[in-house]
Amino acid sequence: MRRERSITLIDTQSGGDVSRVVTAGIEPIPGTTALEKARFLEREGDGLRRLLLSEPYGDPAMSVDLIVEPGHPEAQAGYIIMEAMGYPLYSGSNTLCVATALLESGMIEMVDGEQQIVLESPAGLAHITARNADGRVESVTTQGAPAYVADRAVTIEVPGIGPVACDLVWSGGYYAMIDATAQGFTLAREEEIALTAFGDAFVRAARPGLRREHPSLGDVGPLPFVHFMGPVEDSADGRCVSRSATYVHPGVLCRSPTGTGTSARLALMAVQGQLRPGDSLETISPRGNRFVGTVIGEDTVGDFPAWHSHITGSARLLARSRVTVDLDDPLVDASDLEPLLSW
């Protein structure tokens, strides 16, 4: 008897980064909150992440978002984010994709015009404004957890490169913020391979000495992200503009400027006195894709001054599909995956 199951997906992209939204085919995940469910998958069910992000089913440059029942009464849906690095607690581009997929699929009823929805990520609630027209989500603005600067002016000795200065910022995951110009990068598309190699070497050198703790979330794991920062310029409409690039360990350079990378940059610029509430920064990835981040207010996380921000971008649906999973295929880790799959 053949042991086959199926998983229903909506593939989406935001700023060129592909998110595979899992809408059916998975049993209810133990836990009450999205965070508890994410940590269960990390401990007991990592086969789903590996399956959908590895050949022949997927690619490590993609992300996976599993729709789950929310634990918070304000949320209309919960989602667990899975990437090459593991289980990030929050992601701007993934949130844009999940909101768009839920609305355009009808899993959340869409209303033309401006629509407010609330989703529960592992980091907490994401408050979302979708702007809809003629059955399509034209843009999404999301506010996740506040970002804060955890460490300033840290120097990492990187083999083959030398000393590299960075600031460490939390914005749903820890980011090492690096001045791209100081490392000889202009953040052009032809530098993608070199940026990826630099990011890999930096993370491997930096991980042993950087903090892993979050004041309320506890141990959040080793450093997963590097954000390369280009010079800041002023646009004609008064908005700050900067080229940027985000590296995700291991081996992925994002196509988008990333929402959490942009939030981290906003928090760092606020600490430096370059931005105040109401000010915006448009980040541009090496592929020319753009997000707009806006500082909206101050807060605290533990003992750290923190900043709330909005990230605005758009997402598009790429495909609706049903993936067949053959549990007898030697490329499928059936022992880790089978308990998660619905009949």
Active site residues: 91
Q: In sequence order, which residues have a C-beta less than 8 Å from that of residue 184 and are 6 or more positions away?
A: none
Spatial separation of the C-alpha atoms in residues 276 and 298, rounded to whole Å? 9
Describe the crossing of helices 92-105 and 259-271 by its angle, rounded to 10 degrees. Answer: 140
Planar angle of CA 76, 89, 45, nearest 5 degrees? 90
Q: What is the 3-state secondary structure (H, E, C) of 4-55?
A: EEEEEEEEEEECCEEEEEEEECECCCCCCCHHHHHHHHHHHCCHHHHHHHCC
- How deeply is 336 buried, as exposed, middle or buried, from its count of CB atoms within 10 A (0-12, 13-18, 19+)? middle
Strand partners, 158: 162
Spatial separation of the C-alpha atoms in residues 33 and 310, rounded to whole Å? 23
- Two tokens, residue 94: 């993934």
How many C-beta neighbours within 10 Å does residue 259 have? 32
- Two tokens, residue 289: 């894709």
Give the CA distances from residue 16 to residues 198, 245, 324, in Å, rounded to whole numbers and listed in that order. Answer: 22, 13, 26
Contact between 9 and 20 (Cβ < 8 Å): yes
